[in-house]
Amino acid sequence: EAGVAQSPRYKIIEKRQSVAFWCNPISGHATLYWYQQILGQGPKLLIQFQNNGVVDDSQLPKDRFSAERLKGVDSTLKIQPAKLEDSAVYLCASQPWGGDTEAFFGQGTRLTVV
Amino acid sequence: GENVEQHPSTLSVQEGDSAVIKCTYSDSASNYFPWYKQELGKGPQLIIDIRSNVGEKKDQRIAVTLNKTAKHFSLHITETQPEDSAVYFCAAVSYNQGGKLIFGQGTELSVKP
């Protein structure tokens, strides 16, 4: 079974530029998460999708971050404009149906904002 | 919302010793508690989990205990090996909050040969 795919693996941008990350979850998984992981900290939930609907985006800085999951499969996370404090690893995870099932993580995208 | 606190932030043990990591959670409705291991440059990977109707679960050298009354759960690794060195995260899921997965801050475990 193929795992969660994320791209790119690394990205360096200047502040105020925009950037987009892509995630392809495990086939058939209904739940998809985006997490932000700052160095030395635990993953912080940004947004949770169930199929193509948003379950929770209370921690997403909506003035600069946006995310979509068209057709309930692939997802993109965008930052526009980026700030220095956005430097982090962005992790995507998927679950068969959420709740008490195993979440599978991608390798993440390491973003550096200079 | 749910808040998960994890201690210690770093832990260093000698090979063969035991390691214990502790977590507390705030939402009494949380009912699923997974533990993840994250190696450098990789995403977290599930190593063991426990549901609220169980007090203890063991898988070879790894065990997890849950105290619902006190709202805390712990990870126990026995006979530690150098390959156990990694960052470990506890997490909690509450159906009251849409079943989202909330993580603790992480424990960096170092096993010295």
Report the chain A residue with the minimal C-alpha distance to residue B41. A107
pLDDT at A13 over 90: yes
* Mean confidence (pLDDT) of chain A: 94
Average pLDDT for residues A41-48, to the nearest whole number?
A: 95
Query: What is residue A70's predicted lDDT score, i.e. its pLDDT?
Result: 83
**Per-residue three-class SS string for A38-96:** CCCCCCEEEEEEECCEEEECCCCCCCCEEEECHHHCCEEEEECCCCHHHCEEEEEEEEC
Q: Which residues contact B68 (CB under 8 A, 6 or more apart)?
A: B28, B52
What per-residue confidence (pLDDT) applies to A14? 98
List of chain B residues with pLDDT < 70: none
Asked if A20 reaches chain B (Cβ–Cβ under 8 Å), the answer is no
The answer to whether B89 faces chain A, any CB pair under 8 Å, is yes
Using a CB–CB cutoff of 8 Å, tell me whether B3 touches chain A.
Answer: no
Please report which confidence band the pLDDT of residue A84 belongs to, taking 50, 70 and 90 as the band edges: very high
Query: Is the CB of A43 inside 8 Å of chain B's CB atoms?
Result: yes
Residue B60 phi/psi, 5-degree rounding, is: 60, -115
How far, in Å, are A52, B35, B50 from residue B40 at the CA level?
31, 17, 25
Contact B44 A91 (CB under 8 A): yes
Mean pLDDT across A75-104 = 94
Among B39, B100, B102, pick the best mutation site for testing chain A contact (most A Cβ within 10 A): B100
Specify the pLDDT at position A69: 96
| % residues pLDDT > 90 (chain A) | 89
CB contact under 8 A, A56 and B98: yes
Q: Which of A80, A55, A54 is nearest to A66 (CA)?
A: A80
pLDDT digits (tens, 9 = 90+) for B33-42: 999 999 999 9
pLDDT, position B36: 98
Residues of A in contact with B31 (CB under 8 A): 100
Is B101 an 8 Å CB contact of chain A? yes
Interface contact A39, partner B, CB < 8 A? no
Does A105 contact B31 at a Cβ distance shorter than 8 Å?
A: no
Supply the pLDDT for residue A1: 62
Q: Which of A33, A100, A109 has the most B C-beta neighbours within 10 Å, making it the best mutation to test the interface with B?
A: A100
* pLDDT tens for each residue of A46-73: 999 999 899 999 999 999 999 999 888 9
